[in-house]
């Protein structure tokens, strides 16, 4: 047995009730849901020359502006990459896809460079002073490089202390070990500046 019910639209308006169908969700007009970011890609570690895809899925944001923004790891430099489903950055390595069915914005970077490392934020702008955001860190692997200011050679008298320094950079941070000529490992004290 199927029950049906009907009500006149003018009766509903007279009662102060208006239902809106937005994205398949039905709710009172005065109770519009706050946009949320339901998913953001986790931290990415990629090789130079590789490709990365970062996804941001949003809910209830059809009436709001959604952006991808990149900042340096110290957050001193900010670059807007996209607004809505349009890429604003003029760099052929970057592309943006928007999937309407999942409301997901996918930022893709091809031929990754060391300078692409940083914090990528997906932002939903609610007002001039209010936004919601989620972020994903992109780290780019760099081979270890030993700096020229490392100790090259050292002459000391037997029984006297000797201090040798090795400065190395790379990602992940390189592990430094010292060995004697006979390949025996020497004790090491680490300092990460």
- Beta-carbon contacts of 38 under 8 Å, excluding residues fewer than 6 positions away, are 57, 58, 59
> Which pLDDT tens digits describe the chain residue by residue (193 residues)?
333 333 333 333 333 333 333 333 333 444 678 999 999 999 999 999 999 999 999 999 999 999 999 998 887 889 999 999 999 999 999 999 999 999 999 999 999 999 999 999 999 999 999 999 999 999 999 888 888 877 778 888 888 888 888 888 888 888 888 777 777 666 666 555 5
* Residue 116: Cβ-neighbour burial (10 angstroms; 0-12, 13-18, 19+): buried
Tokens of 155: 């002459």
Q: How many CB atoms lie within 10 A of CB 176?
A: 14
Domains of the chain in start order, with CATH, are 36-141 (2.60.40.10)
Q: Tell me which residue has tokens 């990460």.
A: 192
53, containing H or E segment: strand 52-59
Q: In 3D, which of 147, 123, 4 has the Cα closest to residue 64?
A: 123
In this prediction the pTM is: 0.68
Contact (Cβ atoms closer than 8 angstroms) between residue 40 and residue 136: yes
């Amino acid at each position: 047995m199927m029950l049906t019910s009907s009500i006149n639209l003018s009766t509903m308006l007279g009662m102060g009730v208006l239902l809106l169908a937005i994205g398949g969700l039905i709710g009172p007009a005065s109770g519009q849901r706050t946009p949320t970011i339901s998913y953001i890609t986790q931290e990415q570690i990629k090789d130079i020359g590789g490709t990365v895809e970062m996804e941001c899925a949003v809910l209830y944001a059809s009436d709001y502006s959604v952006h991808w923004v990149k900042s340096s790891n110290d957050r001193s430099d900010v670059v807007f990459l996209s607004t809505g489903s349009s890429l604003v950055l003029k760099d052929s390595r970057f592309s943006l896809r928007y999937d309407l069915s999942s409301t997901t914005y996918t930022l893709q970077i091809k031929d990754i460079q060391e300078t692409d490392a940083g914090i990528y934020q997906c932002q939903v702008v609610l007002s001039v002073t209010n936004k919601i955001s989620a972020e994903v860190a992109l780290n780019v692997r760099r081979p270890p490089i030993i700096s020229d200011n490392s100790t090259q050679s050292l002459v000391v008298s037997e029984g006297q202390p000797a201090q040798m320094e090795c400065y190395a950079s790379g990602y992940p941070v390189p592990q430094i070990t010292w060995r004697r000529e006979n390949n025996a490992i020497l004790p090491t004290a680490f300092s990460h500046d």
